[in-house]
Structure 1
Amino acid sequence: MKGCIVVVLVFLFSMANAAELPVEAFASAPSIDMLKLSPDGTKLSMTQTVDTEKEQLVLVKLFDLETGEQKFLVKADSRDLNIYSVVWANNKQLLVKAAYASHRYGTPVTETRLMVIDTETGKNRSVIRGQLQRKLVRTPQFQSNIVALMPEDEEHFLLALDGFNHGVGTSVVKINLNGDLSKIVAHSRENLIDWVADRQHQPRIAIFRDDTQYQIKEKKPNNDEFRLLWQFEALSEDTIWPIGFDEDPNLLYVSAYHNGKKAIFKVDLAKDKPEPELIKADPDYDVPADISYSWQDKKIIAVGEDYIDPKYQAFQKAVDDALPDADNYIVSMSHDQNRYIVLTSSETNAGAYLLGDRKAKTLQFLLPKFSQLAPELMVAKQKIQYKARDGLTIEGYLTTPQGYQQGTLPTIIFPHGGPISFDDDGFDYWTQFFANRGYAVLQMNFRGSYGYGFDFMQMGLQGWGLQMQDDVEDGTRWLIEQGIAVPGNICIVGASYGGYAALMGAVKTPDLYQCVVSFAGVTDVEDLVKSQRNFTNYEIVKKQIGDNFDLLEQRSPLTHADKVQVPVLLIHGTKDRSVPVKQSTAMFRALKNKKKSVEYIELEDGDHYLSTNSHRLETFKAMDRFLKSHLQLPEQRVAVN
């Protein structure tokens, strides 16, 4: 894997400085995405979005690298079906995961399905059918949880599936892709929700949940006995989460806390009392709970986000040398490890796919994810930090328009959703859109955000509208102190929890912001918690958000509509299964009744993620118009078509 790589095609862009791009440049979903190589390296699978007057299509497409032939295998309307994963089962069959909005016993839910596609004939079918379907006593809500692909046995894979009894319990089924009989290889137990298989494809780790208590158990090979390994409360510091096995079926990698930060450990299950052995830790941040296993080399090759195997480290270095100043990820590789797909991106590069050939030592540019977003017109985020009012350090990112040197700017405060999530320095099409319009954008990882350790996360539990909200306000005032934001020219924008924070900003500090944009925002926290009563994670939701409904009512923007003194834009999809659309319609009515300035846009069949191009475009055009009417830009922007 040594030697240099020659890049045979590269990006070439040249456009005017500080140009205002069309809204469509930011608001269009990637035209081509999810590229994967067939095991023999001769074909590419991908998804493609195509808009017509009547349909918003997502297609599964096949491209033959040897002949140049293209064919479309699946066509779906993205308003009805979200295709979120496409993987090769073998050289002739693809496995496609899809999600859609539905109802169960009157409760709005998301369902998932798994299809198998014959790439030669184009025929597709559900994996759950025939003899297997007849064994079910109820139709499972989730049918796409692949426990393990089996490269050494391409006719089979393992699927986690419930529905074989009336209670909550997940089994593992060995699916035969040729249509022959499928076999249950691990039977469900009460409260068993998921499985982890070893590298010999034996279901070995069973994950149980009863309300807020988890149990991690080992299933002994070739029998139905279980051994309790660990038990812990949800959201506790005792959490030990299985990640995956090494080649040795007794060596299990887990994620657990070390000195208050999530780290990766290795556990020897051959011991009577397995004790985690520290493998990777970071004193400042959580280590991502991720490992990579090479079935060809029969070993773990990466821990966290870094290769640990010298051969793969050298390979990654060669790719990074060929594509400098970028984050380069090997997203797919042929079974002989010669051909591979690289997804390269940076703070200013929205992402592009390249095809590599190790024998030829070449990288061939395939296509960009966002063809209209020239890196030269994008801007890098600046990492910042400030002190909250109680002295806690808050990290965040500041993005300013291209060419900005100093002085005040119209400003957007942009808290993230989740709230157990985070913002980083990666490419963000929302932030780039705002900066391209001439706004400074401040994102902050307020307390409760993910990645900063146990104590930081705990500070956000049941803290909606309290110190988490203060952190957002303190960031705004910090930016004013820096001479970038100026009172009277600041708006606050957010999605999901971020929409809640935006609305609460207008409630708690009515003079600080000039306008509010909430996409799919929570407005009634009490109702959000109560809406989870019919779901199995209800007790965890209460533990995270709270169960004192009187307090939750007082921390809801809906309760304080009379305190909102600035214009509000509400946008919500009718098929949102994360935050129900009634959260926005109720807020709209409350603001209207109080004679407040409010606009509401409802996205018919829209989901929580703006998965459909037309919904993205409508949302971004509305935000563009709304923000321009309430924020004063320092100079006339240049429009580029």
Structure 2
Amino acid sequence: MIRRLLATAATAAALQLSFAAPALAAPPPIEAYGALPALEQVEISPDGQKIAFIATVGGTRALGVRSLAGQDLGGVRLGDQKVRDIRWGDDGHVLITTSMTTNVAFAAGGYYFNKGEHYTAQSYDIAKRSFVTLLDHGAASGASGGGASRVKGNVTNSNMVLAYPEIRLVDGQPTVLVGGYDKEYNGAWFKIDLKTGQGRLFNENFGVLDEAGQVIAKEEYYEDEGRWRLMGRDGTTWKELYVDQDARIDTPTLLGAGRKPGTVLLWVPEKPANVLYEVTLATGARTKLSFGDLGEGEPFHDGRTGRLLGFMFHGEADTEVVFLDDALAKSWASIRAGFKNSRISIQSWTPDFKKWVIETEGPNDAGSILLVDLAAGKASKLGGAYPAVPGDAVNEVRLVHYKAADGLDIPAYLTLPRGREAKNLALIVLPHGGPAARDYPGFDWWAQALASRGYAVLQPQYRGSDGFGPEFMAAGYGEYGRKMQTDLSDGVRWLAKDGVIDPKRVCIAGASYGGSAALGGATLDTGVYRCASAVAGVADIDWKMADLKEKEGQGDSQSNRFWTRYMGPRESWASISPIKHVDRVTIPVQLIHGKDDVVVPIQHSYRFRDAMKAAGKTVEFTELGGEDHWLSRGETRVAMLQAQIAFLEKYNPAN
């Protein structure tokens, strides 16, 4: 029944959504990995009788809604819309938040344009099978106004949303609130009519909502001064509860409601370790929350009420979930016990926590979506994220550790090609972006695609990565293009010493900072790699920083300070800027870049390509039309993989 549930028409246009896995192929086609997940963001309705989900079939994205009894309740094709979030507004409406790369016109003091990734939200009416856009309406008393107007072909900011919609009980009724811009273009909360999409100003302050939908705390940041403060509501006024006078780079973060009413959670960057505080709004008193060996906890809240449910701890090998409520902890323990060898993530649950939607990953599992019914004591598979990658095609992922040249311990994930002995393999080094980010264990579509072609794939968590403690991150300060770069090649030497890989058959690839590191492997840390493939990488540091200054309209922005901390003083930038060292390149270099990238503009790849050609070096370039910085579209994600694997097989064959 569950298989039939998701295998019928999902749209009025008779779009067929089938999640049955195809016949086993060895190896699966590149499209099996590069396509956006076939099934994701599965949300169960408040009444526990329906699910809403995002599906991709034949390259087409769609929102689908079905009953658990198997009835098609509607859906719609989404085309190229980039879906960032879906959730139920009530039992009859699904809220969907999407983004697009565009110029947005702001009209305060005359129009000015801001090109970026801008978000809008819509309400899907199940009964009518139709959409309305939130905040998209003409000016009205108390409303946001001016929704769909355009200025010289650029969208105005009036229907932009600043956060995913929130559902709260207001006067005893479930109420949808969404963050948007008020008439003065300040952030505010708007109360939404799900049938029309119109919003009326609910609270002129944008911040943490309590369970009744009232703003109880907000944060303010004065970028020029590097000063951050927490403000709490005191009746009809606001009072200052905490101030950080030296938040020039790392600011405290307001993380939502605390364990008790009248409290909020505040993450504060302190030395030698970051601290999570619970702040009592009435007094400003702070209580330090400690989790012992579990490390830093990431709070998570009920999406409908804002109530703090517990904390997540992202370890090297798995993510541990700790619920505050004993009954929820017991429920979670029973779910976890049924999937001992899997990495589990929670997608949604009913308000009574009797039904859960989870996703599992692990050995022989490319991502399975399941409905867990605790009352019935059973779990039913709804579908798979990557159904075209059968379990027996999933490559093994190992957590490994090695020493950098200076003795620093570097964790890494090593994906080994299935069916091959871990000896004398061709290797692809695949550093993550960020750099203040990290990889996670589980099914990584990019690493798995490369491993499916016979490569070992090493994902080093180089110094400066997030998630391994503040000291490990701080070890990367000033080491962009230096020790952050050699941390990668130290992993190559470690694998070569153990005989796992052939040191003469190694290439480097990556996106964003990983793309910059790939360029660094060709220009800064030479003699290690046979080729380099850079996706959306920074090629010219001076130009990046100048572009950043121009975008933000000031010379000492928080972003500027962040990057300078990693790159070191300006006079040293030339020594680590890839475009300054094209003369040192002795290997083929591939450049792949999305034309709509607003984080690292495509001009970085244009400039590096031209410099390589002028120097008579081997360079290949692939432009991804309509793609952003995050490879958000399935068609271009597949195109990236196809181009990259063809390049790697040409210059560093796995066999």
Q: Name the SS of the counterpart of 1:451 in structure 2.
A: coil
Match of 1:59 in 2: 62
Residue type of the alignment partner of 2:309: I
- For the 8 Å contact 2:361–2:368, the answer to whether it is kept is yes
TM superposition shift of 1:161: 2.4
Q: Give yes or no for the alignment of 1:585 onto 2:585.
A: no
- For the 8 Å contact 2:41–2:86, the answer to whether it is kept is yes
Residue type of the alignment partner of 1:231: D
- For the 8 Å contact 1:48–1:58, the answer to whether it is kept is yes
| Alpha-carbon distance change, 72 to 469 in structure 1, aligned in 2, over 3 angstroms | same
TM superposition shift of 1:20: 2.4
Match of 1:125 in 2: 132
Match of 1:191 in 2: none
Residue type of the alignment partner of 1:229: Y
Q: Give yes or no for the alignment of 1:114 onto 2:121.
A: yes
- In 1, the alpha carbon distance for the partners of 2:484 and 2:279 equals 36
- The number of residues matched between the two structures is 608
Find 1:252's aligned residue among 253, 257, 264.
264
Q: What TM-score do the two structures reach when normalised by structure 1?
A: 0.87
Q: Give yes or no for the alignment of 1:449 onto 2:449.
A: no
| Alpha-carbon distance change, 229 to 83 in structure 1, aligned in 2, over 3 angstroms | same
Find 2:557's aligned residue among 534, 539, 542.
539
Residue type of the alignment partner of 1:450: D
More contact order relative to length (CA 8 Å, sep ≥ 6) = 1
| Alpha-carbon distance change, 154 to 113 in structure 1, aligned in 2, over 3 angstroms | farther
* Structure 1 residues not aligned, in runs of 5+: 1-6, 189-193, 635-641
Find 2:244's aligned residue among 197, 216, 231.
231
Residue type of the alignment partner of 1:251: T
Match of 1:277 in 2: 288
- In 1, the alpha carbon distance for the partners of 2:602 and 2:304 equals 45
Q: Name the SS of the counterpart of 2:468 in structure 1.
A: coil
Match of 2:42 in 1: 35
Q: Deviations over 1:469-527 (max 9, x none)?
A: 12112222222222222232110111111010011111123321110111111111222
- In 2, the alpha carbon distance for the partners of 1:145 and 1:450 equals 24
Residue type of the alignment partner of 2:285: P
Find 2:222's aligned residue among 174, 190, 210.
210
| Alpha-carbon distance change, 436 to 426 in structure 1, aligned in 2, over 3 angstroms | same
- In 1, the alpha carbon distance for the partners of 2:159 and 2:488 equals 37
| Alpha-carbon distance change, 61 to 427 in structure 1, aligned in 2, over 3 angstroms | same
TM superposition shift of 1:32: 2.1
- In 2, the alpha carbon distance for the partners of 1:36 and 1:402 equals 34
Q: Give me the identity figure in percent.
A: 25
* Structure 2 residues not aligned, in runs of 5+: 6-18, 105-111, 150-155, 313-320
Match of 2:78 in 1: 76
Q: Name the SS of the counterpart of 1:125 in structure 2.
A: strand
Match of 2:311 in 1: 303
- For the 8 Å contact 1:389–1:474, the answer to whether it is kept is yes
TM superposition shift of 1:175: 3.1
- For the 8 Å contact 2:257–2:307, the answer to whether it is kept is no
**1:76-225 paired onto structure 2 within 5 Å:** 76-78=78-80, 81-104=81-104, 105=112, 108-128=115-135, 129-130=137-138, 131=140, 132-134=143-145, 139-140=157-158, 142-146=160-164, 148-150=166-168, 156-165=175-184, 169-179=186-196, 182-187=199-204, 195-211=207-223, 213-225=226-238
- In 1, the alpha carbon distance for the partners of 2:304 and 2:180 equals 25
- In 2, the alpha carbon distance for the partners of 1:402 and 1:181 equals 53
- For the 8 Å contact 1:461–1:543, the answer to whether it is kept is no
Q: Deviations over 1:355-399 (max 9, x none)?
A: 222222121111011111122221232212222222221111222
TM superposition shift of 1:242: 2.1
Q: What TM-score do the two structures reach when normalised by structure 2?
A: 0.85
TM superposition shift of 1:450: 0.3
- For the 8 Å contact 1:255–1:289, the answer to whether it is kept is no
| Alpha-carbon distance change, 420 to 518 in structure 1, aligned in 2, over 3 angstroms | same
Q: Give yes or no for the alignment of 1:268 onto 2:297.
A: no
Q: Deviations over 1:119-157 (max 9, x none)?
A: 111222221123223389972584141473115755522
Match of 1:4 in 2: none
| Alpha-carbon distance change, 90 to 313 in structure 1, aligned in 2, over 3 angstroms | same
- In 2, the alpha carbon distance for the partners of 1:477 and 1:320 equals 38
| Alpha-carbon distance change, 505 to 60 in structure 1, aligned in 2, over 3 angstroms | same
| Alpha-carbon distance change, 348 to 561 in structure 1, aligned in 2, over 3 angstroms | farther
Q: Give yes or no for the alignment of 1:372 onto 2:388.
A: yes
TM superposition shift of 1:163: 4.7
Find 1:409's aligned residue among 406, 425, 443.
425
Find 1:290's aligned residue among 296, 299, 315.
299
